[in-house]
Amino acid sequence: MLSLSTPVIGLAVLLVGVQVVYSALDMLNISYGAAAVRDADTWIRDGLNISDPERILAYQRSTTILSRIQSWVGLAILLAIVVTGIYTDLTRALTQTGLTPSIQGVLLIAGAVAGSRFLSAPFDLYKTFVIEDRFGFNNQTVMLWLRDWIIGLVIGLIAATLIGGTVLWVIEAVPSLWPVLGWLIVIGVSLATMVIYPRVIAPLFNDFEPIESGALRDAVEDVFSRAGFDCEQIYEMDASRRSSHSNAYFIGFGRAKRVVLFDTLIEQMSTNSIQAVLAHELAHWKKAHIWKQLVASTIQMGAVFAFLWWITSSEWVYTAFNLPSVTYAALGIGLLYAGPVLGLLSPVTNRLSLSHEREADDFAAETMGGPAAMTQALQTLAGENLQNPFPHPAYAAFHMTHPPIPTRIRRLREQYGDDNINDGLLDGDDSSAETDGDADDDPATPAA
C-alpha cells in the first residue's frame, strides 16, 4: 500500500473528479434530451421517420448507463492497482528479470493492453447481444464477435508493443532527445496508419467491394466530377454482417485514399442523399481537413511528450509512487495524469473538428446545388441509428466532434434556402430529398 502523499492523492482526485464530471454530463444529457425529444415529437416522427420517439430515449439511456458503469469499474480497478502498490510491485519485479528496460516496458505495455481488452469484453458482449439486439441493430453471431475480439487483441498487442517498444528503445539509446524522437515516431505512425488501416487492418474485419458499375457508380462519378475529383477508390463495406447501423468515412492520402460506404447506408438512403454524403466526405480532402487535424494532433502530442519529459525527470514521482529508477515506470504514471487533462480540454480541441464539419456541409450543399439532399441524409442517419439529436450543450462541448443535426440542418437552410437551387443537376428521385419539419432545439450529431 502506497503512503497517501500529495501526488498520490492528487492523481486519485484528478481521476475521480473527471469521472464525476463525465457522469454528471451524462445525467444532464439524458434529462435534457428527454425533454427536447418530447417537445420535438412531430419533427422526429416526420423528419426522422421514427414512429415511437421514446425508442430514442430508451436506447440512449441503455448505452449511456452501460458506458458509465464500465468507466467506473475500470477506474476502480485502476486506482486499486496504483494505490495498493500493485503497479509498484509489477515494475520492481520487472527490473529483477535481467531484461533490458525497453523489454521490461514492452511487457508492461502488453499486460496493460491485454488487461484492458479482457476488462471491456463483458461490457461489449452485453452491449452487442443485449442492448443492440433489443433495439434491432445486432446481426452478429457470438463466434463472429469472438473472432473480431481475438483479432482486435492481437492487433492491439502488436501495435502497442511495436510503438511503445520503439519509444522505450529511443529512451535507452538517446536519453537526452527521447521526447523529440518519440514525438516524431508518433507522427510517423499516424501517417502510416492512414495507409495501413484501409489496406491491411480493415479487411481483417470486413469485405470491401469496389463500386464499379451500375446506377450507383454513375451517381458516384457524377458527384466526384462536380466536386473536382477523379473517381478512384470507392468501396462498399459489408457492415450489415454485424450491425444495421449506417455510416461512411474517408481515409488515407495520395494513392491510398478511399471513400467507404456502409452497405446499410446504401440500402437506407436515396441516391441524392448518398451523393450528398460523398460530397461531404470529399470535402475533408478538398479542404485539407485531414492535414489540419494531423497538425493539431501533432501539436497536442508535442505537449504530451513535453509533460512526460517533465514527469520522468522529476524525482517526486519515483518517491511518491515508490517506483524503481526506470523511465517506463514513471511514464505509466505520467499517462494517468495526462489522460484526464486531455479529456477536460476536449471543448477546445473539438472546435477544429466542428468547423471542419460545417465546411464539409457547405461543400456538400454547393456541390449538390442546394441543401435538400444533405439535410435528408442527416435526418436518415439520425433516424436509422436512433441518435438523440438534442444533446445538452455542455455534453456536446465535451463529446461531440460534429455539430448537432438540427443545428446543421437549420444552418444549411439559413444559408442556402429550403430547396436545391438546381434539381436538374442531381440524379435519382428528387422527391426523396425533401425535408420536413423544423428543428428548434440545440442537438446531436451523426457521423457523416
- Catalytic annotation on 436? no
- For 259-278, letters b (16+ CB in 10 Å) and e give bbbbbbbbebbbbbbbbbbb
Confidence of residue 285 (pLDDT cuts 50, 70, 90): confident
Query: What is the structure's pLDDT at 25?
Result: 97
Non-local CB neighbours of 104 within 8 Å, separated by 6+ positions: 91, 94, 95, 97, 326, 328
Helix (H) or strand (E) holding 113: helix 101-126
263-283 average pLDDT score: 92
- Catalytic annotation on 281? yes
Query: What is the structure's pLDDT at 416?
Result: 86
DSSP 3-state assignment of 178?
helix
Q: Which of 229, 285, 237 is nearest to 260 (CA)?
A: 237
Confidence of residue 231 (pLDDT cuts 50, 70, 90): low
Q: Tell me the per-residue pLDDT of 11-65, one tens digit each, with 9 for 90 and over.
A: 999 999 999 999 999 999 999 999 999 999 999 998 888 999 999 999 999 999 9
Query: What is the structure's pLDDT at 420?
Result: 47
253 in Cβ contact with 262 (< 8 Å): no
322-336 average pLDDT score: 95
> Exactly one of 26, 132, 222, 361 is catalytic; which is it?
361
**Annotated binding-site residue numbers for Zn(2+):** 280, 284, 357
Q: Tell me the per-residue pLDDT of 149-185, one tens digit each, with 9 for 90 and over.
A: 999 999 999 999 999 999 999 999 999 899 999 999 9
Confidence of residue 419 (pLDDT cuts 50, 70, 90): low
Query: What is the structure's pLDDT at 375?
Result: 94
Percentage of the chain surpassing pLDDT 70?
92
Query: What is the structure's pLDDT at 418?
Result: 67
Strand-strand pairing, 258-262 and 234-237: parallel
Q: Tell me the per-residue pLDDT of 379-404, one tens digit each, with 9 for 90 and over.
A: 999 999 999 999 999 999 999 999 99
Confidence of residue 229 (pLDDT cuts 50, 70, 90): confident
With 80 as the cut, is the pLDDT of residue 422 above it?
A: no
> Exactly one of 26, 132, 281, 427 is catalytic; which is it?
281
Helix (H) or strand (E) holding 244: none
Weakest mean pLDDT among 22-31, 78-87, 213-222, 426-435: 426-435
For residues 56 and 53, give the distance between their C-alpha atoms in angstroms, rounded to a whole number.
6
Q: Tell me the per-residue pLDDT of 197-224, one tens digit each, with 9 for 90 and over.
A: 988 999 999 999 988 778 888 888 888 8
Confidence of residue 256 (pLDDT cuts 50, 70, 90): low
Query: What is the structure's pLDDT at 234?
Result: 84
Query: What is the structure's pLDDT at 446?
Result: 35
Cell numbers given for 182: 518519440
DSSP 3-state assignment of 257?
coil
Weakest mean pLDDT among 164-178, 266-280, 313-327, 431-445: 431-445
Query: What is the structure's pLDDT at 350?
Result: 94
**Annotated binding-site residue numbers:** 280, 284, 357
**251 strand-pairing partners:** 258
Query: What is the structure's pLDDT at 374?
Result: 94
For residues 153 and 155, give the distance between their C-alpha atoms in angstroms, rounded to a whole number.
6
370 in Cβ contact with 420 (< 8 Å): yes
For residues 124 and 23, give the distance between their C-alpha atoms in angstroms, rounded to a whole number.
19
Query: What is the structure's pLDDT at 195?
Result: 86
